[in-house]
């Protein structure tokens, strides 16, 4: 081989390696808020359809153990991004003042899905009927922590109902047994009452969002280091997720197929019902007007004040820096219907 040929071959090899390196996908670790369920469909559909890959990403999606745990995972840097309740982030910032270590970048639940449940035979049909009743819920439950907001919005005193501390897997059982009159959680928990022998028509659901509590729910968060060092990766992730969320809204059945692919042991009909129950909080009049993923600043400001009060946080949390809208896809990409 001539010197010229060897030189050309060497240059070609260098260019090939450089090109391969440039095309190497960016690895991201993402934490859900809980075990895989129907409401996680958009994250898994984006993976199933290759939307992350299309954006040059290699995304690992892990299960979580609650919103507070996911917020800590992202803030610590153990995960690049995550999905958790915005109120849990506000609580984290209030308890860990100083330089923020994470930012919300896409609002998924434009309405918060906290709810209370009672059996029809209890006679409870409206918030005023909760006076003097007992409510079951673990101490870390967001429904329990935001009870002062529900009480205030409905002319009740915080002490008008007595909360009973129970394990998460006992919340519904103690209601069905008659130990307490009211349970707490998300609308998806109507399935648990049904499994315990209570027909869906015999369960009264009082959704906080329907009774004067105007809070955001779960959002996508990014670690502040990722924000500073690789903002393009966040933009790419949100484009992929946004695409899958629109697909899921258009066809919940397709979204749940991705959930079943991740965990074939789940019951597909149950997961589809869960997704549809939660979609009410993702697909709202505001998301149709403003586009998916965005926030209204006055609502965020009010939520910060409300959570500081309800959670008894000692540090006043500033709304500034909680939500970073700069990574959102263009509004045209976030509109639908």
Closest of 79, 46, 85, 102 to residue 227, by C-alpha: 102
* Same-domain pairing of 66 and 195: no
Q: Are 44 and 130 contained in the same domain? A: no
Residues 104 and 252 in one domain: yes
Give residue 23's pLDDT: 72
Whether residue 182 is found in the same domain as residue 225: no
Same domain, 186 and 134: yes
Q: In this structure, is residue 174 part of a structural domain?
A: yes
80: Cβ contacts below 8 Å, ≥ 6 apart: 28, 29, 30, 74, 222, 223, 226, 233
Instruction: Kindly state the tokens that stand for 258.
Output: 């991705």
Domain match, 32 and 161 both: no
Number of domains composing the chain: 2
Q: At what angle do helices 252-262 and 231-250 cross, to 10 degrees?
A: 120
Q: Which residues of 23-41 are buried (b: 16+ CB within 10 A; e: fewer)?
A: eeebebbbbbbbebbbbbb
Query: What pLDDT sits at residue 20?
Result: 43
Q: Please report the DSSP string for 288-311 in residue order.
A: HHH-TB---HHHHHHHHHHHHHHT
Of 169, 186, 210, the residue that ends a domain is 210
Residue tagged 């209601």 (tokens): 175
286, 334 Cβ separation under 8 angstroms: no
Domain final residue pick, 210, 235, 256 = 210
Considering 210, 245, 262, which residue would you say is the last residue of a domain? Answer: 210
Going by C-alpha positions, the residue among 165, 182, 163 that lies closest to residue 122 is: 182
In this prediction, residue 249 carries a pLDDT of 98
Q: What is the pLDDT along the chain (337 residues), one digit of tens a residue?
A: 565 555 555 555 544 454 444 579 999 999 999 999 999 999 999 999 999 999 999 999 999 999 999 999 999 999 999 999 999 999 999 999 887 799 999 999 999 999 999 999 999 999 999 999 999 999 999 999 999 999 999 999 999 999 999 999 999 999 999 999 999 999 999 999 999 999 989 999 999 999 999 999 999 999 999 999 999 999 999 999 999 999 999 999 999 999 999 999 999 999 999 999 999 999 999 999 999 999 999 999 999 999 999 999 989 899 999 999 999 999 999 999 7
131 with 186, same domain: the answer is yes
Please state, as a whole number, how many other Cβ atoms lie within 10 Å of the Cβ of residue 65: 13
- Tell me whether residue 281 is in a domain: yes
- 168: in domain: yes
pLDDT for the residue 151: 98
- Chain centroid offset of residue 229 CA: 24
- 278 in a structural domain: yes
Helix (H), strand (E) counts: the chain:
16, 10
51 within a domain of the structure (yes/no): yes
Distance CA 217, CA 273 (A): 19
The range of the structural domain enclosing residue 125 comes to: 115-210
Residues 127 and 53 occupy one common structural domain: no
CATH number for the domain including 138?
Answer: 3.40.190.10
Q: Do residues 284 and 174 both lie within one domain?
A: no
231 and 322 inside one domain: yes
What local confidence, expressed as pLDDT, does residue 21 receive? Answer: 46
Domain shared by 227 and 184, yes or no: no
Task: Note whether residue 292 is domain-resident.
Answer: yes
Asked, for residue 105, whether it belongs to a domain, the answer is yes
The answer to the question of residue 319 being in a domain is yes
202 and 163: one domain? yes
Per-residue exposure over 76-92, b if at least 16 CB sit within 10 Å of its own CB, e if not: eeebbbbbbbbbbbbbb
Contact 234, 81 (CB under 8 A): yes
């Amino acid at each position: 081989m001539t010197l010229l040929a060897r030189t050309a071959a060497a240059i070609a090899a260098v260019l090939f390696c450089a090109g391969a390196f440039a095309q190497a996908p960016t690895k991201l670790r993402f934490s859900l808020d809980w075990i895989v369920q129907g409401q996680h469909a958009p994250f898994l559909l984006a993976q199933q359809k290759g939307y992350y890959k299309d954006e040059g990403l290699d995304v690992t999606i892990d299960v979580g153990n609650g919103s507070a745990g996911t917020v800590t995972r992202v803030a610590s840097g153990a995960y690049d991004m995550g999905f958790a309740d915005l109120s849990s982030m506000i609580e984290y910032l209030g308890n860990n003042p100083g330089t923020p270590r994470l930012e919300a970048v896409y609002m998924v639940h434009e309405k918060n899905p906290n709810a209370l449940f009672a059996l029809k035979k209890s006679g409870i049909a409206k918030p005023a009927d909760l006076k003097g009743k007992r409510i079951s819920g673990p101490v870390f439950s967001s429904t329990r922590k935001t009870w002062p907001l529900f009480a205030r919005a409905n002319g009740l005193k915080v002490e008008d109902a007595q909360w009973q501390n129970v394990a998460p897997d006992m919340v519904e059982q103690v209601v069905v047994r008659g130990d307490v009159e009211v349970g707490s959680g998300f609308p998806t928990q109507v399935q648990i009452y049904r499994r315990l022998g209570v027909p869906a028509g015999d369960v009264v659901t009082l959704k906080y969002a329907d009774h004067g509590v105007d809070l955001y729910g779960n959002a996508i968060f990014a670690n502040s280091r990722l924000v500073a060092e690789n903002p393009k990766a966040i933009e790419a992730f949100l484009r992929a997720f946004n695409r899958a969320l629109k697909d899921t809204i258009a066809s919940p059945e397709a979204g749940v197929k991705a959930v079943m692919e991740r965990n074939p042991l789940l019951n597909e009909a149950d997961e589809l019902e869960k997704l549809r129950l939660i979609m009410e909080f993702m697909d709202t009049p505001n998301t149709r007007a403003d586009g998916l993923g965005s926030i209204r600043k006055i609502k965020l400001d009010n939520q910060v004040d409300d959570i500081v009060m309800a959670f008894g946080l000692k540090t006043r949390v500033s709304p500034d820096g909680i939500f970073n809208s700069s990574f959102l896809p263009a509004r045209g990409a976030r509109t639908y219907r």
